[in-house]
Amino acid sequence: MQGYELRAQYYETDQMGIIHHSNYIRWFESARIWYMHQVGADYREMEEMGILSPVLEVSCTYRSMVHFDDVVEVVPKIEKYNGIRMELSYQILDRQAGEVRAVGRSSHCFLDREGRVCSLKKACPAYHEAFEKAVEVSRTVSSGNDKE
């Protein structure tokens, strides 16, 4: 699966002319929402059903700089999923050079409208199956394609 492509915007740069570190986390979130839609688990619909997925933890390791107007691809991948929690990894790749600019991880749980932890297997079996399938697909991808 192709990743989420974006062009680095001028307003995302810092005083040194590179993309400010906080924007990578935003890019992870945008890519995660896009990815969920791609695998058949639309986040907007999930929220409309009363299921939330807050971020429990997020991290980013910066390998090299992204500058204004660079085109990058954010490649999200579900690393762990058990119906209650989900962990994703991310790679930010420079589209022109093909180099990894940053890698990251995020951890999430699923909550109902009252803020109680819920199991997607029970609350939304279709999304549970979509995430399980996405995990299986990512496991079958050749490790030779990983750029990390």
Active site members: 14
First to last CA, the chain: 16
CA–centroid distance for 136 within its chain: 17
Say which DSSP state 84 is in. S
- Distances in Å between the Cα of 85 and the Cα atoms of 34, 59, 75, 97, 123 are 19, 17, 20, 34, 13
* The token pair that represents 144 in the structure block: 């030779």
56, 89 contact by CB (below 8 A): no
